[in-house]
Amino acid sequence: MSIPSIEELMAGTVSSSGFDPLPVGWYNGVITKVEVRSGAKGPYLSVEAVVHGEEFNGRHVWGMTSFSEKAHFMPGGLANVLQSVAPEGAIPMDTGAAELPAVLAKAITSAAITFEVKNEQVKRDGNLQYLDAPENTIPEMRSKIAAYRDVDEDFEATVEAEAAGLDADLPF
């Protein structure tokens, strides 16, 4: 391993290394991690998904699903996740409100999904971030999961076959 000189580091161009936002659109993927977190208006799910089978294969995207009353029926909200991602029968109908976040998180982890990606400007401590401070003309952007829809059946079957260790004609 060679450590560059200060001159080389100062003269080099910093690249994004593949972390530029994804183009806005719909992607197939798999939910790889779901955490239940506490927010100001109640619990929410922090969802991590990995894109499969496309130009952006392997890219990670994150989203949040709030349990606040206002967000129940919004795109990316609780109803959208349940109707599009949760496998049929994975959530018992008698699941109480207090248990629902943890039960839902478990039910959708490893699920094949189709999700919409949108981009937003990055905020830290409530302040918008720019790549060229102090000029502040180039906003720092990131991709996020904005909504879910029913997954393509062929993609879902392929993911299930791969998870079971079966040979499948995998698209990714």
Q: Give CA separation, 149 vs 8, 43, 88, 145, 162, in Å.
A: 48, 22, 14, 11, 22
Is the pLDDT at 18 greater than 60? The verdict is: no
Residue type, 85: V
Confidence at 157, pLDDT banded by 50, 70, 90: confident
Q: Which residue, among 28, 61, 29, 30, has the nearest Cα to 46 in the 3D structure?
A: 61
Please give the CATH topology (third level) of the domain spanning 25-153. OB fold (Dihydrolipoamide Acetyltransferase, E2P) (2.40.50)
For the chain, the first-to-last Cα distance in angstroms comes to 33
Instruction: Say what the pLDDT of residue 88 is.
Output: 78
pTM of the predicted model as reported, rounded to 2 decimal places: 0.78
> Which pLDDT does position 141 carry in this prediction?
93
